[in-house]
A and B are shown apart, each in its own frame.
Chain A
Amino acid sequence: MPRRKDFKKVLMIGSGPIVIGQACEFDYSGSQACKALREEGYFTILVNSNPATIMTDPGMADVTYIEPLNVEVLTKIIAKERPDALLPTLGGQTALNLAFFLMKQGVLKKYKVESIGASVEAIACAEDRDLFKQAMQEIGVDMPKSGIATSVKEGMKIGLGIGFPLILRPAYCLGGSGGGIAYNKEELERLLSKGIETSPVHQVLVEQSVIGWKEIEFEVMRDCADNVIMITSMENIDPMGVHTGDSIVVAPAQTLTPQEYTDFVYLCKKIIRRIGISGGGANIQFGQNPDNGKIVIIEVNPRLSRSSALASKATGFPIARVATKLAIGLTLPEVMNQVTGKTTSFFEPTIDYCVFKICRFTFEKFPHAEKVLNTSMKAVGEAMSIGRNFKEALQKGMRSLETKRFGFGADGRDKITDLMLKDPDVLLIKQIKDKIRIPNDDRLFYLRYALKAGLTVDEIFALSHIDRWFLQNMKQLVELEDKIREQRNKSVDDDLQIPVELLAQAKADGFSDVQLAFLLNTKEAKVKQLRKKSNVKTVYKLVDTCAGEFNARQPYFYSTQETKDEARSSKNKKVVILGGGPNRIGQGIEFDYCCCHAAYALNEEGVESIMVNCNPETVSTDYDTSDRLYFEPLTFEDIMNIIEVEKPLGVIVQFGGQTPINLAVALRQAGVNILGTSSESIDIAEDRKRFKQMIDKLGLLQPNSGTVFTFAEAKKVANEIGYPVLVRPSYVLGGRAMEIVYEQELLEKFILEAAEVSGEHPILIDKFLEDAIEVDVDLIGDGETFVIGGIMEHIEQAGVHSGDAAMSLPTYTLGPDILKKLREASYRLAKELNIIGLMNVQYAVKDAKVYVLEVNPRASRTVPLVSKVIGVPLAKLATKVMLGKKLKDLGFTDEVIPPYVAVKESVFPFNRFPGVDVMLGPEMKSTGEVMGIDMDFASAYIKSQIAAGQNVPKSGNVFISVHDRDKRDIVSIAKKLKDLGFKIFASSGTASVLEKNNISAKVLPKINEGRPNILDLMKDGKIQMVINTPSGRIPRQDEVKIRSQVILYNIPYTTTIFGAQATVNGIEMLIKKDLSVKSLQEYHKMKCKKVKID
């Protein structure tokens, strides 16, 4: 049926900031949807608070709003733009929930907006536990026994009726947050009260546990003609009990019989029809009892999801694009399959490889969090790998994670060595068994240890319930590993003895050169040499949706060991872009954004783009972002294999974050042409000694510093430069293991931690500039001309990692003299490093002096934000500059200072790690960012807070407890709060200062000294905001409790005095005038000030 003509304007809602459970897969799906809508001629309006997305690029939609995602703001946008339809299925749970609440509050009805893709009834049926249960009962689909509780008492009754173990799931919660498994009465009670709090509708599902059952997922699509197709099945290697977002997943399912498969398909069809999706897709999750095949339904997501992004990338089927086409009334037979170029989307992809997905965790950032996996998602990113067998895919997947591991162990980095495993003692066996029994992020390695220590597949199955098929394949790897080891060299310099057949088998089962070098006691280069000599060649095969049945027009590639290479290397000019790999804290969507822009720019310049990445969530791994996509791990070996096939004129390493930067030197040494800023300059920026020489040469300032290897050296250096000092390892991203040390007693502990992360590299000790203002500068250069993209002033004082800090663009307190100094320093640095491409500099400003903290000769996290604010695509320009173009010719020669203000705020995953302190420091902890934009700083700032999920109050009670050095500043803040009508509660110390300044405050007792204390008030909903600055580096237990409780109850909080100031000013704005909305296109029409280079 032709597309619907009864509407013209479509509103799309994005998913907001990157959080655990909702990452850049929704930028991928949203961008595909934008393209699909515009292809069909609809006028599209896009709202998303996340500036780091491709979808919010001004060209993606007709009108783009970077505004907070809540009902109030959405209502304003709807009233202003008057869309006919709303497409809520591509922006994750956020968009779906918003659509639901817009319906509930009558907004959709009032403005005559139709929800397309999934009707509000369908959304309600899938999301409301009651309606869902009813629906499943109606069509005879079994569910785990369950009941819905709206109170702890009710929940206890239901739970005790079903029996333990029980799973608890709060309704309308992302990635299962706030849920958990209860094995006894105490745990049930605790989880119930938490779940009821967490759920926005205060509902918790108490459910029979099917822990240990197989977890099987299907991606299903249905059009308005009732055509239903399965995109793929997926089998979770981690059985039920681990959130699917944390599970290791394979596609297709490996252990189902055809009858079981068709049974699942039958259920899927029944379910999608009953839920009522008639122009879109759904992800359906089942549990299956491995002993008798009994199937229960777990969940239906009536929208694009993380799993659907994975299914898309695994099969080549662009689910988001097709879902959008179906939403506007087209049927599957009418939508072309762009990968084959000759068939339609009405078919079921079939694949001739094995897909493996593995998650990246970040427990190291939250040392106090329990290192276990359960039904509440904790992964911050994922990697996908493809192989011709499971073993190859597994090994590739494990090295794709970039956790310095190069496969399924056996890479010289195993915590438990082979020697220990040869004759394991009881304790070791117990440790291994525990690590297998209780799911955790290291479990795969422990499975290997277990197999090496002689545990049988059946024993391991009994502990883990991981299907024997997977375990047996792992065992085959362990056996092969032993076989390879028999060929071990006595001395590193010996020639390799390994027979060609064994080498070929090792490569076919995914062993990397690093693993082989370790097992054979040789060097990586020697393994490579042998491969070349003995013609054990890596070839590339296609992801083509059809297992080779049709000659695909636009496939993508994966490496494997087979007889024929299907790579489609051309003779054209081409450039390889190295992506950022799996998302992690410190390296995420911002870098993927830059990689995509590089591909677009190459296309504009008539140069072929070749993307290398292994992150299935991203736009960069979409089939049509680059000319050719290699879905491969980002290791030296894998990249060199591609380069040898493609022979590009150069490689771009500036855009993928630290991953490609770390490979730059090795690639250059292998004769690869690094485009843009030289790897020599990269080394100067990364090497502290060479960096210091440069700073001195340029007459710039830098905090006093030294490099050390031991605690003794550290003590000496710290005494010389004076406390507080900043301790950090070199060559890391996101401030890993970075600490501010105020006194010698604590120095040793932090030096030890840093040494572990730093490895053979030295530890850096810098003077910490207390109370300085930090500034980030992004700059672009072509070797001749250098132009500042943006100068961003941090809102928090120095010491908070720039990835976590809120920032204002343009600056909001810095005077012209300082700005001049910042500009001069930036240009001097860029010239000296001969920047061709992008550069980011971090400064600290103290006592009118400008100190250089760090120079990164690559794209920074803020590039997408700056590009969007100033309306100049910096990453694109940088790519063109790297190809030899000049900024003058590209028309960008002046720094742009907009008349409006944008504030970036960071979003943190604290709610996933119960009990951790929310304090910010030099180690980055945020997963994502939002932007608030308005005509003045206070409005932009408060928008950023709302967008980040802070429930900013306009009235109520504020609790204040601040560190002594903040007491002076808190007076004016408290005064303003009073004037705005807030009531103030305070700790005794803070209260006495306030009292002296005639500000009345109710004193609350210390937590152990009386009730009701602050915790009680928070729990009762009597506190609307918390201002708490830490008392010292080692926080008091009281404070940690308060700060972790604000997370639990989602109370707005600030832990810095500057943050408090900005928030209170913002609240004043909020009370005095209503927030207004403006599109990016409207902002870009405003006249900007231009600053000429001197």
Chain B
Amino acid sequence: MKAILFLEDRKSFNAESDFSAECLGEVIINTAVVGYQEMITDPANAEKILVFTYPLIGNYGCASKFSESTKVWVSGMVMKEKSKIYSNWQAKSSLDDFLKAHKKPAIYNLDTRTLTVHLREKGPLVGIISTLEFDHKKLLDKINKFKQQPIKSLLPEVSTQKLVSLGKPKGKKVAVLDLGVTAGLIKQLGTLGFSLKVFPYNASAKQILAIKPKGLVVSSGPENDCGLEAVAQNIQPLIGKLPMLGVATGSQVLAIALGARLTRLKLGHRGVNYPVARPGTFKGEITVQNHEYAIDNNSLRKIKEIKVTAHNLNDHTIEEIESKKLKIIAVAYNPVSAGFDQVNAVLIKFSKLLEK
């Protein structure tokens, strides 16, 4: 059936959908060729309308082991062509079936390239996917209504409700503050041999210290969430007391706790091809990124203990900060596994900060 993506600046795109649906959200683009299942199950993308720039989606199907969480968090997906077949020995179902099971809409046959260029030029926009309403005025009304909704935090939804133990029971105890943690991060921390204690987002410093962890990982999760400020305040007392690693949104929380500010990028970094390097050096890494906010450089300069250890080579946004003294590492990118059972170098670096 016919579908539409309508943006708050009144730009509309015709598309198709297999079932009737309507959803709203900030429209974001991701330039990765593979990884659709991981992206839509990543809590960091909660309530977004996700556009894939790669035109052929669903080729290798879906399997629960690819999921970053148990839910599809995006409110909708936009793609050029939804594959009618999947082909990979690991696949258990088609993307279609996966989405049906999770009741999430995916519209297709849409000029995603033009949409991408539009967002690149216009910056972040809210949009609506609908198969029910095509009248531009009414769609705009819905968008406006959506924008006027009282702001609510997603953290209670994406975070664990109670303390959960994961990883290797006999390993070094590491606390994870779950702001929407991904299965991939948990798996890597497990590979490092840690005993993981996953705390709800609103855990206090006292609660965390109570289990006597060797370190704290503040996970990725939804950005620009109204609940993040409080999380930062909660963990502020831990600075200097516990080695800490902030990942993606977790790095932003750490930065806030340290007294820095965030800025919004015109076009978020979302993809798997972002170069970062230590300022003043020629050696860097290609990283996976999914952030639209970055640590403001000016505000960071005032904090003496903190050093920028990696920036994005394209636009020089801060991608990694470190404090040797405070034993803090914060990475704006996603420190994903480098393949097979490899653990990302940042996580290894963090593990070396932990006392024996």
Whether A548 touches B313, Cβ cut-off 8 Å, given contacts A258-B38, A469-B86, is no
A293 at interface (Cβ–Cβ under 8 A)?
yes
**B60, A263: Cβ atoms closer than 8 Å:** no
Whether A347 touches B274, Cβ cut-off 8 Å, given contacts A252-B33, A258-B34, A352-B55, is yes
**B87, A255: Cβ atoms closer than 8 Å:** yes
1/0 per residue, CB under 8 A from A, across B104-122: the answer is: 0000000111101100100
A346 at interface (Cβ–Cβ under 8 A)?
yes
1/0 per residue, CB under 8 A from B, across A247-267: the answer is: 000001011111111111111
Q: Write out the residue numbers on chain B whose beta carbons fall within 8 Å of the beta carbon of A331.
A: 282-283
Q: Write out the residue numbers on chain A whose beta carbons fall within 8 Å of the beta carbon of B285.
A: 227
Closest to A546 in B: B31
Q: Write out the residue numbers on chain A whose beta carbons fall within 8 Å of the beta carbon of B117.
A: 548, 564, 566
Q: Is the interface of B mostly helix, strand, loop or mixed?
A: loop
**B272, A348: Cβ atoms closer than 8 Å:** yes
Cα distance A257–B59 when bound, in Å? 9
Cα distance A566–B29 when bound, in Å? 19
Cα distance A128–B322 when bound, in Å? 45
B336 at interface (Cβ–Cβ under 8 A)?
yes
B342 at interface (Cβ–Cβ under 8 A)?
yes
**A254, B56: Cβ atoms closer than 8 Å:** yes
**A469, B274: Cβ atoms closer than 8 Å:** no
A456 at interface (Cβ–Cβ under 8 A)?
no
B327 at interface (Cβ–Cβ under 8 A)?
no
1/0 per residue, CB under 8 A from A, across B260-285: the answer is: 00000001000111110100011111
Cα distance A333–B86 when bound, in Å? 38
Cα distance A293–B116 when bound, in Å? 34
**B87, A265: Cβ atoms closer than 8 Å:** no
**A290, B89: Cβ atoms closer than 8 Å:** yes
**A346, B284: Cβ atoms closer than 8 Å:** yes
**B282, A225: Cβ atoms closer than 8 Å:** yes
**A564, B277: Cβ atoms closer than 8 Å:** no
Q: Write out the residue numbers on chain B whose beta carbons fall within 8 Å of the beta carbon of A254.
A: 56, 59
13 A-B pairs (CB sep. < 8 Å) = A258-B66, A263-B339, A333-B282, A346-B286, A350-B53, A389-B56, A389-B80, A469-B59, A472-B84, A472-B87, A549-B116, A563-B111, A566-B117
Whether A547 touches B338, Cβ cut-off 8 Å, given contacts A1-B282, A472-B85, is no
Closest to B338 in A: A266
- Min distance, Cβ B317 to any Cβ of chain A, angstroms: 13
- Min distance, Cβ A470 to any Cβ of chain B, angstroms: 8
**A262, B339: Cβ atoms closer than 8 Å:** yes
**A549, B60: Cβ atoms closer than 8 Å:** no
**B282, A467: Cβ atoms closer than 8 Å:** no
Q: Write out the residue numbers on chain B whose beta carbons fall within 8 Å of the beta carbon of A348.
A: 272-273, 286
Q: Write out the residue numbers on chain A whose beta carbons fall within 8 Å of the beta carbon of B85.
A: 457, 468-469, 472-473
- Min distance, Cβ A316 to any Cβ of chain B, angstroms: 13
Cα distance A652–B17 when bound, in Å? 46
Q: Write out the residue numbers on chain B whose beta carbons fall within 8 Å of the beta carbon of A352.
A: 31, 53-55, 112-113, 116
For this complex, into which size category does the number of interface residues on chain A fall?
35 or more
Q: Which of B32, B33, B80, B282 contacts A334 (CB 8 A)?
A: B282
Q: Which residues of B contact A (CB under 8 A)?
A: 13-14, 29, 31-35, 38, 53-56, 59-60, 66, 80-81, 83-90, 111-114, 116-117, 120, 267, 271-275, 277, 281-286, 313-314, 336-340, 342
**A229, B286: Cβ atoms closer than 8 Å:** yes
A562 at interface (Cβ–Cβ under 8 A)?
yes
Cα distance A668–B85 when bound, in Å? 45
Closest to B35 in A: A258
Cα distance A333–B312 when bound, in Å? 11
Cα distance A950–B336 when bound, in Å? 55
A137 at interface (Cβ–Cβ under 8 A)?
no
**A256, B88: Cβ atoms closer than 8 Å:** yes
Cα distance A982–B182 when bound, in Å? 79
Cα distance A298–B35 when bound, in Å? 26
Q: Write out the residue numbers on chain A whose beta carbons fall within 8 Å of the beta carbon of B31.
A: 350, 352, 546-549
Whether A343 touches B313, Cβ cut-off 8 Å, given contacts A352-B54, A562-B111, is yes
**A551, B120: Cβ atoms closer than 8 Å:** yes
Cα distance A494–B53 when bound, in Å? 42
A354 at interface (Cβ–Cβ under 8 A)?
yes
Cα distance A352–B117 when bound, in Å? 12
**B80, A255: Cβ atoms closer than 8 Å:** no
Top 3 closest pairs, chain A to chain B, by CB: A266-B339, A472-B85, A469-B87
1/0 per residue, CB under 8 A from B, across A332-351: the answer is: 11100000001110111111
**B87, A257: Cβ atoms closer than 8 Å:** no
**B90, A257: Cβ atoms closer than 8 Å:** yes
**A255, B313: Cβ atoms closer than 8 Å:** no
Q: Which of A226, A333, A350, A388 contacts B273 (CB 8 A)?
A: A350
**A562, B339: Cβ atoms closer than 8 Å:** no
Closest to A509 in B: B81
**A263, B314: Cβ atoms closer than 8 Å:** no
A65 at interface (Cβ–Cβ under 8 A)?
no
Cα distance A461–B277 when bound, in Å? 45
**B273, A354: Cβ atoms closer than 8 Å:** no
- Min distance, Cβ A581 to any Cβ of chain B, angstroms: 26
Whether A333 touches B275, Cβ cut-off 8 Å, given contacts A262-B338, A350-B33, is yes
Whether A353 touches B88, Cβ cut-off 8 Å, given contacts A346-B277, A549-B120, is no
Q: Write out the residue numbers on chain B whose beta carbons fall within 8 Å of the beta carbon of A408.
A: none
**B80, A226: Cβ atoms closer than 8 Å:** no
Q: Which of A226, A343, A389 contacts B55 (CB 8 A)?
A: A389
**B56, A354: Cβ atoms closer than 8 Å:** yes
| Additional 10 contacts, C-beta under 8 A, given A255-B59, A563-B13 | A254-B56, A261-B34, A346-B284, A351-B33, A389-B56, A469-B86, A548-B117, A549-B53, A564-B111, A564-B113
Q: Write out the residue numbers on chain A whose beta carbons fall within 8 Å of the beta carbon of B272.
A: 348, 350
1/0 per residue, CB under 8 A from B, across A532-551: the answer is: 00000000010000111111
Cα distance A1064–B331 when bound, in Å? 73
Cα distance A851–B207 when bound, in Å? 102
1/0 per residue, CB under 8 A from B, across A1-22: the answer is: 1000000000000000000000
Q: Write out the residue numbers on chain B whose beta carbons fall within 8 Å of the beta carbon of A389.
A: 55-56, 80-81
Closest to A257 in B: B60
Q: Which of A256, A269, A343, A476 contacts B84 (CB 8 A)?
A: A476
Within 8 A of B (CB), among A446-504: 457, 467-469, 472-473, 476
Cα distance A1086–B109 when bound, in Å? 65
**B112, A227: Cβ atoms closer than 8 Å:** no
Q: Which of B80, B87, B113, B277 contacts A468 (CB 8 A)?
A: B87
**B283, A225: Cβ atoms closer than 8 Å:** yes
A390 at interface (Cβ–Cβ under 8 A)?
yes
Closest to A264 in B: B339
Q: Write out the residue numbers on chain B whose beta carbons fall within 8 Å of the beta carbon of A390.
A: 56
Q: Write out the residue numbers on chain B whose beta carbons fall within 8 Å of the beta carbon of A227.
A: 282-285
- Min distance, Cβ A253 to any Cβ of chain B, angstroms: 8
**B55, A354: Cβ atoms closer than 8 Å:** yes
Whether A259 touches B313, Cβ cut-off 8 Å, given contacts A227-B284, A346-B277, A549-B271, is no
Cα distance A919–B266 when bound, in Å? 67
Cα distance A290–B87 when bound, in Å? 9
A292 at interface (Cβ–Cβ under 8 A)?
yes
Cα distance A650–B338 when bound, in Å? 53
Closest to A549 in B: B31
Cα distance A257–B56 when bound, in Å? 13
Q: Which of B80, B112, B275, B340 contacts A344 (CB 8 A)?
A: B275
Q: Write out the residue numbers on chain B whose beta carbons fall within 8 Å of the beta carbon of A257.
A: 34, 60, 66, 88, 90
A291 at interface (Cβ–Cβ under 8 A)?
yes
Closest to B314 in A: A343
Closest to B283 in A: A225
Q: Write out the residue numbers on chain B whose beta carbons fall within 8 Å of the beta carbon of A342.
A: 314
Q: Write out the residue numbers on chain A whose beta carbons fall within 8 Å of the beta carbon of B88.
A: 255-257, 260
Q: Write out the residue numbers on chain B whose beta carbons fall within 8 Å of the beta carbon of A344.
A: 275, 313-314
Closest to A262 in B: B339
1/0 per residue, CB under 8 A from B, across A105-121: the answer is: 00000000000000000
Q: Write out the residue numbers on chain B whose beta carbons fall within 8 Å of the beta carbon of A267.
A: 339
Cα distance A562–B80 when bound, in Å? 10
**B113, A293: Cβ atoms closer than 8 Å:** no
